[in-house]
Structure 1
Amino acid sequence: MPPPRAPRQAASPSLSARVRPELFFVGSAIFHYLGPAFAVLLFARLEPLGVAWLRILSAGLVFALWRRPWRAWASSGPAERRTVVTWGGLLALMNASFYLAIDQLPLGTVAAVEFAGPVLIAAVALRSVRNLAALVVAVAGVALLAEVSLSGSPLGFAFAIINMALFAGYIVLAHRVSRHRHLVGIDGLAMAMLIATVFALPIGIVDAVPAFTDPLALGAATAVGVTSSVIPYVFDQLAMRRIARATYALMVALLPATATVIGVVVLTQVPTPAEILGVALVIVAVALHRDATPEINIEKGNR
């Protein structure tokens, strides 16, 4: 008589499922401004819109080779496609306005302005006194980060405000795509980035042309695309799949703090005591916040 079979063990969760979603967000926050910090250094060789388009193009090519998102597109429905097309257009405009803003304002200031949109998203979904307190502390921290730099080009602030509104839209659409059935998560992001490349073509192609005869600038712009649009946006999708939209919006308070630190390391923009206090308040706020929404399994749909 043959020995009894051992019971089949359940498949072990992937690495992304074992990592806390908050860690993905921290990784996103670091790269969200590390790439643009290096992009500022590229402005001596290329105009901001040229850098923006090369960033989008290089990210789109990486995603195309990695994910081949047209397969997910073929199996998706009209509603998913409309969302991804809208997201692609938003990504094109958001990147363009962001680069025009950081060309004229300190990186930390642009990040602080950018936080205003997510604050509204987090405020709308408040469900507890604890989370209200976290939001207040976060706003206070970001206000300290912004207060010391609220001077400079009015046009730069105009672009920063446009970028703020678009970034709020990014959170809403990216969170929706993370819950899609077919164009889900990274596949939806990959398709949106390819669409963004087309949308941004008339905006940045003229300013990007000099890079094609400058290997150093082209290589640097490609690296900016990977560090600014591939790594952080992928981390965003891995985090959003398991974090409520309001919680993610509150955690965006880490971005101005991260931008301040990266501004020190890369651009030698030394923070004042007020900025250091602002960073500390932001960290306290994120630690104080509690997400009552249960995590969603990220394995389904992410091929």
Structure 2
Amino acid sequence: MQKSASSRTLTGVALVIGSCLSLPFGAAVAAQLFPVLGPWGVTSLRVAIAALLLLVIVRPRPRRWTRQQWAAALLFGLSLAAMNGFFYAAIDRIPLGPAVAIEFLGPLVLAAVLTRRLPDAVWVGVAVIGMGLLFVDGVVGAEPLDPLGVVFILIAAGFWAMYIRTSAKVGAVIPGSGGLAMGLVVAAVLLLPVGIPTATVVAADPQLLLLAGITAVLSSVIPYSFELAALRRLPQRVFGVLLSLEPAFATLAGWLILGQDASPLRLLAIALVVAASIGTTLGIRRARRRADDAEPAADSTTEPGAVPGSDRRNGPETGVFTAPIPLPD
């Protein structure tokens, strides 16, 4: 049991890192399309392409779904559309690294709400200090952050937290990747008003379509598939803090592809966020070992296979806690 739980944890961590690598490089490619298509146009095109790809690959059968499954997919699609749209609107105005770091406030707040262990709260505090340094750098640094861009990324942060919750729900009630495919379809439909003008521009330039396809694969298909699989193996609060690796990869992508430099203070802020991620990762592995060791001695009133204080009825990979989940990308 202990070895199996540890293996699931390592797989979940690897999946999140893969997502963190893919997303910012996809965003850096997308930023090159903004002057022609605009951030919302790129969002619409990217989501539509990703939806078509997954429909062909996954071939979901939504006609057999229950009302609960449809509700989960619809909320998931809403979070995808808004999170991606506002994120692209933000990185059209502020550098990629700080944008991803500020957006992390969404899952950070979610992690703080869901945490039940003191070490988790401490690491969340470390990440908050990093956010504070990033704010200071954005105000007094050589390149102040655009206020409207900061507003956009804060809105995206809220929808990122919603994405984590809704994607966990989709993973729990819809088998396979069918929920992800239909969630992207819902997002594509919601973005259709800004997507129709974009489609006419892209149709006249195949190179734009190629860049949009690369963006869709790097920013939607790969990361969302990885994150959906990771959420089946990691608790939501840990998943949220693990994604703090993204600012580091985003800074690297912004530097390599877009030529965006980072000040020492900004790099320190990002390092603190990454430190919080590493600390939480190590903490969950220790907690799972203790939980597995304690299972044989569980109280007789506890359901077989369950750890007191958590819900393991759906298997140890779900990480669903007894805190109410009212239900990402």
TM-score (norm 1): 0.85
For the aligned residue pairs, the C-alpha RMSD in angstroms reads: 2.2
2:45 to 33, 54, 77: 54
**1:228 positional shift:** 0.3
Q: Deviations over 1:188-216 (max 9, x none)?
A: 11111112111110133223421111000
Aligned with 1:30: secondary structure? helix
The question of whether the paired residues in 2 share the 8 Å contact of 1:145 and 1:256 is answered with no
Instruction: Tell me if 1:282 matches 2:242.
Output: no
Greater Cα offset, 139-148 or 243-252: 139-148
Greater Cα offset, 250-259 or 216-225: 250-259
- 1:235-274 matches, within 5 Å, as 235-274=226-265
2:153 to 149, 154, 160: 160
1:178 to 171, 179, 186: 171
Which residue does the alignment assign to 2:85?
Answer: 96
Which residue does the alignment assign to 2:111?
Answer: 122
Q: Deviations over 1:161-218 (max 9, x none)?
A: 22111111001101111212xx235221111111211111013322342111100011
- Residue identity matched to 2:155: I
Relative to structure 1, is the Cα distance of residues 282 and 157 closer, same or farther in structure 2, using a 3 angstrom cutoff? closer
- Residue identity matched to 1:23: A
**1:128 positional shift:** 1.8
**Residues paired across the two proteins, number:** 280
Instruction: Tell me if 1:86 matches 2:79.
Output: no
Which residue does the alignment assign to 2:317?
Answer: 296
Aligned with 1:296: secondary structure? coil
Provide the C-alpha distance between the structure 1 equivalents of 2:81 and 2:194, rounded to a whole number of angstroms.
9
Which residue does the alignment assign to 1:74?
Answer: 63
Q: Deviations over 1:27-63 (max 9, x none)?
A: 1111121101111111233222211111001100110
Which residue does the alignment assign to 1:231?
Answer: 222
**1:115 positional shift:** 1.2
Relative to structure 1, is the Cα distance of residues 273 and 154 closer, same or farther in structure 2, using a 3 angstrom cutoff? closer
Instruction: Tell me if 1:222 matches 2:213.
Output: yes
- Consecutive unaligned residues of structure 1, counting only runs of 5 or more, are 1-12, 299-303
Provide the C-alpha distance between the structure 2 equivalents of 1:104 and 1:18, rounded to a whole number of angstroms.
37
- Residue identity matched to 2:118: V
Which residue does the alignment assign to 2:130?
Answer: 141
The question of whether the paired residues in 2 share the 8 Å contact of 1:114 and 1:163 is answered with yes
Aligned with 1:277: secondary structure? helix
The question of whether the paired residues in 1 share the 8 Å contact of 2:43 and 2:84 is answered with yes
Percent identical residues: 35
Provide the C-alpha distance between the structure 2 equivalents of 1:40 and 1:147, rounded to a whole number of angstroms.
25
- Residue identity matched to 1:141: G
The question of whether the paired residues in 2 share the 8 Å contact of 1:46 and 1:208 is answered with no
TM-score (norm 2): 0.79
- Residue identity matched to 1:114: E
- 1:27-42 matches, within 5 Å, as 27-42=18-33
- Residue identity matched to 1:296: E
Instruction: Tell me if 1:108 matches 2:129.
Output: no
- Residue identity matched to 2:271: A
The question of whether the paired residues in 1 share the 8 Å contact of 2:124 and 2:276 is answered with yes
Relative to structure 1, is the Cα distance of residues 108 and 189 closer, same or farther in structure 2, using a 3 angstrom cutoff? same
The question of whether the paired residues in 1 share the 8 Å contact of 2:49 and 2:216 is answered with yes
